[in-house]
Amino acid sequence: MQDILLIKYGELALKGDNRSFFENRLMKNIKNALNEINDVKIEKTHGRIYVECSDNTDYVIEKLKRVFGIVGITLAKKVDLNIEDIYEASINIMKQYKDKSFKVETRRPNKTFPYESMEISRKVGAEILSNVDNLHVDVHNPDVLLNIEIREMAYLYTDVIDGIGGMPVGTNGKATVLLSGGIDSPVAAWMMMKRGAEVNAVYFHSHPYTSERAKNKVIELCRVLSQYGQKIDLNIVNFTEFQLAIYDKCPPKMTTIIMRRMMMRIAENIARKTSSMALVTGESLGQVASQTIESIYCTNAAASMPVFRPLIGMDKSEIMGLAKKIGTYEISIRPYEDCCTIFVPKHPVIKPVLEEIEEIERNFNYQNYIDNISIDVQSIK
């Protein structure tokens, strides 16, 4: 009998002929997540991935809980494929439970095993009742569910630890996220990663109006997000001169929306250079003046590649809850201003008209600024 971690994945199993592509990427991501741990063996069979580790099991599980594509992790007993060994393992597992009801459920992907699923459950249940005191059967609402999987070996387990689900990072293209250092944009990046996108980040730095601590906060956010399956490259744009020019040359109430449009143009240039095919923002509909439908329409018009806003239908409390869950919240709330919160006009336009915005921009030679900025980007890998 051997302890082994059994990895479950959900929607990957529905990928038909493409299934192996997603499974192989998940295997690669699991290996990357565990590469610092000695004596770990990872193996894939049809429908399952197994992880063997000599020690540090709890640490390995914590690492696996951050790998997208995994819906469940269970510590299982692996035994030879004969009914007597299954009896013995089942009895040993159930001896830890006292005064509980239980049920046995069996899956039998390996049809060469001589007993069918219902028959195995029935036989094992009878052996448990004969050898373990103070247990009784409840097939409708059991306290303990003993699972038996008949594969190339037999696997037995009772508890399943939830994974974070989603798709393996790297299976759904590459996108560039505009990362401000606030609460929302790191969550947006995480949600894109959860759907399998590989992401890199762009941060707009306006020194000395934004501090080195604000920049370091973004670097730390990238480090936290990197724990979810990929190292995130950060591109830092020196935005000060351009931002001052925007506020010097444009009507105050229009400066926020024009700044957002310029950020989109710069981010798109960086995205194309880094093989990204989409931009990602942390906007939530109606949260601030730049996030009304009219403002988002004007912002979108400045970009030619798709712009994804995974938080668009979430309210602030939902976003904060998710930020706490993924470990970015405490970093994001540090009181260091980013470039989006400085020079904010008292009365920003909430229903901008694209034609008016474009007319203002025609009188502002912004392309020179964009060209100069695009060749002076600091990249942190």
Residues in the annotated binding site for ATP: 178-179, 203-204, 260, 282, 291
Chain-centroid distance of CA 234 in Å reads 17
Give me the amino acid identity at 109: P
Can you say which residues are annotated as belonging to the binding site?
178-179, 203-204, 260, 282, 291
Contact call for residues 33 and 66 (beta carbons, < 8 A): yes
- The region, left, alpha or beta by phi > 0 then psi within -120 to 50, assigned to residue 197 is beta
Whole-number Å distance between alpha carbons of 86 and 107: 13
**Omega before 208 cis (within 30°)?**
yes
| CB atoms near residue 238 (< 10 Å) | 16
- The region, left, alpha or beta by phi > 0 then psi within -120 to 50, assigned to residue 282 is alpha
Give me the amino acid identity at 45: T
Contact call for residues 302 and 367 (beta carbons, < 8 A): no
The secondary structure of residue 233, as a DSSP letter, is: P
Token digits of residue 94: 């159930």
